[in-house]
Chain A
Amino acid sequence: MSESIDNLRRLFEEDLAAIDGMESWKAVRDKYLARESGVITTELKKLRDLPKEARPAFGQAMNQLRALVEKKLQERLDEAKAAEASTKLQRIDVTRPGFPFALGSIHPIKRLQSEIEQIFVSMGFQIFNLPEIERDYYNFEGLNMPRNHPARDAQDTFYFDDSVLLRTHCSSVQVHAMEELKPPIRAISTGKVYRRDPFDATHSPMFYQVDVIVIEEGITMGDLKGMLDVFLKRMFHSDIRMRLRPGFFPFVEPGAEVDISCIFCSGKGCPTCKQSGWVEILGAGMVHPKVLRMSGIDDSRYSGFAWGMGIDRVAILKHGVDDIRLFFENDLRFLRQF
């Protein structure tokens, strides 16, 4: 019995394969599905001749066969229609270029600047928006760099008059944050800074910095290292290693120079890192007790750390840019790469 159904199915598949047009499709449909004389109806009539217990199985099998036939015929019809439609349409040339909607770009330094701000906000920092035209006190005096301090030599400054200048670093955030907030303090400021350095491949009279300050109870140099590590890994890569060397900045004690493993050679040594495997990335340290006191913070209760980093420096390292001037020439061939 099931043999005869299998046989029917085979016959149907053969008929289906032989369809070569609408006429033959209709013929096959009628042959199997015609209400009175179709093969399936005819077969179903044999139900009566079967023993009672075999009838339900046979009925079910026949209904399945009918569903299969209907489905296959419909598919064959759809295929035929689609084929016919496609021969009538003229195909578009999808390989031609799309409409030239213009795509602009965000400046690489600005993109980094907002990335940096995001990282710090996620670590509980408040972002200060500070003036570029600054009073001497916030840029120098309040940072333990009184007039006639030799450390001022390293930051040749543009002045408007004796006490008003273009900030030479964003470290002014230290003094502003300590004046405006009470500990615990976590603050950063980013933006343009200025030094009287003539333009060349590695110097610019204007560049970008981010400066960081944390003042809390019980902050240690170990905390500075921990937070630096988190920041640098997020900024560069989770594989980055860092090292701290003693360094000098008048507003921190102890002070540190921070190197990261060279991102071009992973620390193996290459021309960028002068074969040392390390590149200097920022300056850091524990906030100098005098700086705390000048800003009215009790240095017997609170301690803190600070660091400052050139954003252009990060951009140069991250993107492999070989000339800082490119950042400020606005050459579209450069800007479009970001």
Chain B
Amino acid sequence: MKISIEWLQEYVEIRESPEKLKEDLSMIGLLVESMTKVHGTHVLEIEVTSNRPDCLSHIGMAREIAALYSRPLKWPTVQAKLSIPSDRIPYAIEIRDEELCPRYVGLVMDGIKVGTSPDWMQRRLESAGMRPLNNVVDITNYVLLEMGHPLHAFDYDVLRKGKIVVARARQGERFQTLDGMERELDGEMLMINDGEGPVAIAGVMGGMNSEISLSTTRVLIESAYFGPASIRRTSKKLGLSTEASYRFERGADWDNTVPAIARTCSLIEQLAGGKIAGSLQDIYPRKKDPVRITLRQANTKALLGADLTSEFIESTLRRLNFDLAPEGEKAWLVTCPTYRADMELEADLIEELARFYGYGNIPATLPPSKTIGIHSPVYRLENSIREIISSQGYNEAINLSFANEMDHLEFPPLQGERAAVRNPLTEDTQYMRTSLAAGLVRSAKRNFNYGQRLVRLFELGKVYHLGSDGVPFERNVLGILGTGGFTDQNWKNPSASFDFFHLKGVLSKLLQGVRVPSFEIEPAGKIPWLNPAESAVLKIGKETAGVLGSLSASLEEKYKLKQPAYLAEIDFACIEKFAFAPPSYDPLPKYPSAERDISIVVSRDLAFQTIHKGILQLGICELVRLQLIDVYEGEKIPEGKVSLTLRLTFQDREKTLTVDRVQDFIDTILSFIHKTYGVGLRSI
């Protein structure tokens, strides 16, 4: 709301500098967003919150300032007579929907000369951000900005039946508003009709058909009160917000209807030569009572924690035009001004008191704690994952939770349906993401563009699916991406580049770090966005907990990565289910262990895990560790074969192992391998 200080001074004396006024208004909840100079006067742009429609006018602001500085409020003078003994122009007002229009005040004037309004009025309208049109329209706008009540002037001669009928529109009816737009109405919208058809959308905008023109000489002026919810619904539905709808939807003052029309009438007489021709009619089928609230002094203390004296309470509320009648001991029945649409409960009155007492004067206290602090169930796991994985060189990423059509084509969901946003902002917010992969790949690509080829990212965030009931749901997912060198180029650098086993290694470290007792990584079936030759699933217990592998060749090409990128996507809930298995102490061995390395040549197709499991199933309980320490393929090995070097560690808890026993274990293992896989020790 733009408020001109020059205009404001017509209603209240202002001795303060604009800067001081700005500061003081902010401290009673009227935030001055900016201050400019228009036509030589300071104009304050005030952020009026939606609960204070009474401040959407110069008098409204003057009322607050008068209360703030304890100064009198000066009302504009109104000289016009509102009724005459016999109407020259008879007219009728009929309200067919009292719910949506509890009060409608009208009068008719004739002898009007439509022209331009005087300079002082044009200047004031402009300083408040309104464009002058003609004297009649300018006057209704002027009164709107002065008194806060929206008015409308109809060209009386185009009202076909000489009457006003307030009723809901017919479903599907079409109507052209003043802005020239053709609008489709529905049966919930309140309309002003002339007995033949609609001439205005009540409280929102007039019709092209009843617009004031240069040839207009007779006008019917409307000053009504329309229900806020209905006006807001109509305004939203039509996508049409006006100065009038803005005020009605927040709550106008039904008792301001007559003063506003009187002021309008008076100005039209003075500035447009009009005379009253049809007396004021006040159709008020549903009398609205002012709000009355009981206020107890004890409750002001209970809510604010400050001691407000009864003198302070009474004088503050009276300054704000509330009426107080004592109601028992230290309590009042407070009658609220009808313009205070925000008054409903005792707490609303207490806020008024607090505003003028000053929030800063309420003493700060610290309530003793009666509760125990409890972290969210995922706090520990999320933070552990974050600490472990970031300490392995990964940077935490946050991507938007949305997805576009392309994301879903490139990274189709591995499970469930995608959830669509009904009112997306752009095509990039059309859907909710079903995977973290798309965001991570795009983040990597962005870094490539900045010349950053070594990228390690992780993201702990949600993905979203459509549930079987059609309602979207969300689940937590851990995404990891690695691409580029294994470490930064450095003189000590092992020149390896990041590959599947680095990804698997970091994932394994992570799972061990959060004490998931056992997990396996197995070859995967088809995963749309992963390379089929380098893809795997993570299994925890019997559950599939996620996927990992390298980005498919087609996506690598499409994103022009020019280097392989490795991705993992793991279900957080699955980790959560198994994480933090309580550690149990295993007594330290008293006897030395023995290590033996063996090299075996096996078919390339034989998975290491198969050999590993086979050896473990031999049941040699002295075998405490099995490591794969070397893999060799090449000249000395037949085509299609691979040499694996295993390091076996044996340990007996009861006694020192003899060389012979260790040899027995090795023999058992080798004969098993030979028998089962048809291979043996590699001869070097």
Interface residues of chain A, those whose CB is within 8 Å of chain B, are: 96-107, 109-110, 114, 117, 120-129, 131-133, 148-151, 153-154, 158-161, 164, 166, 184-186, 192, 194, 196-198, 205-206, 214, 216, 218-223, 225-227, 229-230, 243-248, 250, 253-257, 286, 288-290, 303, 327-333, 335-336
The 8 Å CB contact of B376, one of A106, A128, A197, A254, is A128
Q: Are A206 and B303 in contact (CB under 8 A)?
A: no
CA distance A222 to B302 in the complex (A): 10
Can you identify 6 A-B contacts, CB atoms within 8 angstroms? A105-B395, A133-B471, A148-B236, A160-B422, A256-B359, A330-B398
Q: Give 1 or 0 for each of B365-395: 1 = CB within 8 Å of chain A CB.
A: 1110111111111110001001101111111
Contact A219 B367, CB 8 Å, known A104-B394, A117-B375: yes
Q: Which of B615-655 contact A (CB under 8 A)?
A: none
Q: Give 1 or 0 for each of B337-379: 1 = CB within 8 Å of chain A CB.
A: 0000000011110110011000110111111011111111111
The 8 Å CB contact of B50, one of A121, A150, A186, is A150
Contact A109 B488, CB 8 Å, known A103-B393, A104-B390, A198-B425: no
Contact A245 B371, CB 8 Å, known A127-B376, A332-B395: no
Q: Are A132 and B457 in contact (CB under 8 A)?
A: no
CA distance A225 to B450 in the complex (A): 46
CB distance from A255 to the nearest CB of B (A): 7
Q: Are A214 and B367 in contact (CB under 8 A)?
A: yes
The 8 Å CB contact of B374, one of A126, A133, A248, is A126
Q: Could you say which residues of chain B place their CB within 8 Å of the CB of A230?
A: 366
Any A CB within 8 A of the CB of B490: yes
Considering the complex, give the chain A residue whose CB is closest to the CB of B393.
A102
Any A CB within 8 A of the CB of B31: yes
Contact A247 B29, CB 8 Å, known A102-B456, A226-B364: yes
The 8 Å CB contact of A124, one of B363, B370, B464, is B370
Q: Give 1 or 0 for each of B476-509: 1 = CB within 8 Å of chain A CB.
A: 0000000000011011110000000000000000
Any A CB within 8 A of the CB of B129: no
Q: Could you say which residues of chain B place their CB within 8 Å of the CB of A331?
A: 446-447, 450
Any A CB within 8 A of the CB of B518: no
The 8 Å CB contact of A248, one of B50, B419, B493, is B50
Q: Are A289 and B345 in contact (CB under 8 A)?
A: yes
Q: Are B305 and A100 in contact (CB under 8 A)?
A: no
CA distance A247 to B48 in the complex (A): 10
Q: Are B391 and A126 in contact (CB under 8 A)?
A: no
Q: Could you say which residues of chain B place their CB within 8 Å of the CB of A126?
A: 371-374
Any A CB within 8 A of the CB of B70: no
Q: Could you say which residues of chain A place their CB within 8 Å of the CB of B393?
A: 101-104
Q: Which of B389-441 contact A (CB under 8 A)?
A: 389-402, 419-426, 429, 432
Considering the complex, give the chain B residue whose CB is closest to the CB of A190.
B376
Contact A97 B490, CB 8 Å, known A133-B472, A221-B304, A253-B348: yes
Q: Are B305 and A160 in contact (CB under 8 A)?
A: no
In the complex, given contacts A132-B474, A332-B455, what are 12 additional A-B residue pairs having Cβ atoms less than 8 angstroms apart?
Answer: A97-B490, A101-B393, A104-B390, A133-B474, A150-B249, A184-B370, A244-B359, A246-B28, A247-B29, A253-B347, A289-B345, A328-B400
Q: Are B345 and A125 in contact (CB under 8 A)?
A: no
The 7 closest A-B pairs by CB, nearest first: A102-B393, A222-B305, A220-B305, A246-B29, A121-B373, A254-B351, A248-B49
Contact A106 B429, CB 8 Å, known A124-B370, A220-B302, A245-B31: no
CB distance from B20 to the nearest CB of A (A): 13
Considering the complex, give the chain A residue whose CB is closest to the CB of B439.
A330
Q: Are B350 and A330 in contact (CB under 8 A)?
A: no
CB distance from B469 to the nearest CB of A (A): 11
Q: Are A329 and B370 in contact (CB under 8 A)?
A: no
Any A CB within 8 A of the CB of B52: yes
CB distance from A184 to the nearest CB of B (A): 4
Any A CB within 8 A of the CB of B233: yes
The 8 Å CB contact of A133, one of B27, B379, B473, B490, is B473
CA distance A176 to B593 in the complex (A): 57
Q: Which of B296-315 contact A (CB under 8 A)?
A: 301-306
CA distance A306 to B442 in the complex (A): 38
CA distance A214 to B362 in the complex (A): 18
Any A CB within 8 A of the CB of B452: yes
Considering the complex, give the chain A residue whose CB is closest to the CB of B230.
A148
Q: Are A330 and B397 in contact (CB under 8 A)?
A: yes
The 8 Å CB contact of A106, one of B350, B373, B386, is B386
The 8 Å CB contact of A328, one of B345, B376, B398, B452, is B398
The 8 Å CB contact of A127, one of B236, B374, B402, B424, is B374
Q: Are A255 and B351 in contact (CB under 8 A)?
A: yes
Contact A286 B421, CB 8 Å, known A110-B386, A114-B383: no
Q: Give 1 or 0 for each of B222-251: 1 = CB within 8 Å of chain A CB.
A: 000000110011001000000000000110
Q: Are A246 and B491 in contact (CB under 8 A)?
A: no
CB distance from A232 to the nearest CB of B (A): 11
Q: Are B464 and A133 in contact (CB under 8 A)?
A: yes
Contact A196 B423, CB 8 Å, known A127-B379, A150-B232, A331-B450: yes
Q: Are B402 and A205 in contact (CB under 8 A)?
A: yes
Q: Are B487 and A102 in contact (CB under 8 A)?
A: yes
CA distance A206 to B402 in the complex (A): 9
CA distance A25 to B420 in the complex (A): 91
Q: Could you say which residues of chain B place their CB within 8 Å of the CB of A154?
A: 50
Considering the complex, give the chain B residue whose CB is closest to the CB of A131.
B474
Contact A100 B492, CB 8 Å, known A230-B366, A245-B31: yes
Q: Are A158 and B429 in contact (CB under 8 A)?
A: yes
Q: Are B364 and A229 in contact (CB under 8 A)?
A: yes
Q: Could you say which residues of chain B place their CB within 8 Å of the CB of A128?
A: 376
Any A CB within 8 A of the CB of B209: no
The 8 Å CB contact of B371, one of A101, A105, A125, A288, is A125
Any A CB within 8 A of the CB of B443: yes
Contact A99 B306, CB 8 Å, known A123-B369, A158-B429, A335-B397: no
Q: Give 1 or 0 for each of B247-262: 1 = CB within 8 Å of chain A CB.
A: 0011000000000000
Q: Are A253 and B395 in contact (CB under 8 A)?
A: no
The 8 Å CB contact of B389, one of A104, A125, A129, A219, is A104
Q: Are A248 and B366 in contact (CB under 8 A)?
A: no
Q: Are B376 and A105 in contact (CB under 8 A)?
A: no
Q: Give 1 or 0 for each of B23-49: 1 = CB within 8 Å of chain A CB.
A: 000111101000000000000000001
Considering the complex, give the chain B residue whose CB is closest to the CB of A253.
B347
Considering the complex, give the chain B residue whose CB is closest to the CB of A181.
B371
Q: Are A303 and B250 in contact (CB under 8 A)?
A: no
Considering the complex, give the chain A residue whose CB is closest to the CB of B486.
A102
CB distance from A98 to the nearest CB of B (A): 8
Contact A121 B369, CB 8 Å, known A106-B396, A110-B398, A158-B421: no
CB distance from B441 to the nearest CB of A (A): 11
Any A CB within 8 A of the CB of B668: no
Q: Could you say which residues of chain A place their CB within 8 Å of the CB of B387?
A: 106
